[in-house]
Amino acid sequence: MNKHITTRPKTGAAAATTVHNASQRRRWALMSLGAVMLLIGLLFSQVAQANDAVGPRVRLATNMGDIVLELDAKAAPKTVANFIRYVNEKHYDGTIFHRVIDGFMIQGGGYTPDMQQKPTLPPIENEAAEILARGGPRNDVGTIAMARTQDPHSATAQFYINVAKNSFLDFQAKTMRGYGYAAFGRVVEGMEIVNAIKKLPTGPSPAVPRSFPRDVPQETVIIKNATLEK
C-alpha cells in the first residue's frame, strides 16, 4: 500500500512563527553581507595606506653587492630631496664607504678611493625633530641618516647606515648636543651587504694615514653608482 505524506498549510501561531523565522534569517543575511562589505573596505583601505607608505627607492650598487634604500619623503621631505638630488647629479658614483665601525655604523658618500673629498651643495636644515614628530625613522638597525659635523645644520652629502640601535643619535632637544642626526629611510634589500661591510678589517687609510688614522676599511668598498628606482 502506497503511503502519501500530506503537509497541511500552517495556520495561526505556527504560521506567525514561520514568518518570524524567515524575517530573522533575512536580517542575519543582511547583517552578514554588511560585515563582509565592511571587511573588504577595511582591507582595501589598508592596502592603499601601505602603497602610500612606500617612498622612493635608491639602489647603491657597490663592488660587494647592491643595497636598496627606501626613503621616507613624508617624514623627511627636505632631507630626502637633498639625498635624491645628489643621486641624480651622480655625486655618489665612485665614492666609498670610508668609515666603518662594527656595532655602530658604516659611513660613506663623501670621498673617492684616494680619500679626496668631493665638492658638495650647501648644508641643509636638520629635520631630526620634525621627522620624529611625523613618526619617521629613528637611528635603528638598518636605517640611513645624514652625517654631519658638530654643527646640527651642517649635513651635505655624507650619510651612514646604522648597524646597531643608536638611540643616542636621535633628536632630544633643539640644542647643539641634543639635535641628533636625521634618519630618513631604511635598507629594504641588501642588509647582508651592509653586514659584510661592517665586518671588514679597518685601520688607517693607506692613502692618507695621518688624516684618517683609523676606521678605514682595508678593502675598498666603492659605490659604483647610485640610481633612483621610483
Tens digit of each residue's pLDDT (9 = 90 or more) over 211-225: 999 999 999 999 999
Cell of residue 101, nine digits = 665601525
What is the percentage of the chain residues whose pLDDT exceeds 90?
76
H/E element holding 14? helix 13-53
Nearest to 169 by CA among 148, 154, 185, 188: 148
Write phi, then psi, for 77 (nearest 5 degrees). Answer: -60, -45
Nearest to 94 by CA among 227, 226, 224: 224
Spatial distance between the Cα atoms of 218 and 19, rounded to a whole number of angstroms: 85
Mean pLDDT, residues 150-178: 97
Spatial distance between the Cα atoms of 179 and 128, rounded to a whole number of angstroms: 7
CB of 202 closer than 8 Å to CB of 218: yes
CB of 223 closer than 8 Å to CB of 94: yes
37 — pLDDT class (breaks 50, 70, 90): low
pLDDT value at position 20? 58
CA dihedral (198, 93, 160, 135) in degrees, to 10, reads -130
Spatial distance between the Cα atoms of 72 and 153, rounded to a whole number of angstroms: 19
H/E element holding 36? helix 13-53
pLDDT value at position 15? 53
pLDDT value at position 1? 43
pLDDT in tens, 2-26: 444 344 555 555 555 555 566 677 6
Place of cell 650598487: 61
Spatial distance between the Cα atoms of 110 and 88, rounded to a whole number of angstroms: 15
pLDDT in tens, 50-99: 444 579 999 999 999 999 999 999 999 999 999 999 999 999 999 999 99
Query: Would you state the CATH architecture of domain 57-228?
Result: Beta Barrel (2.40)
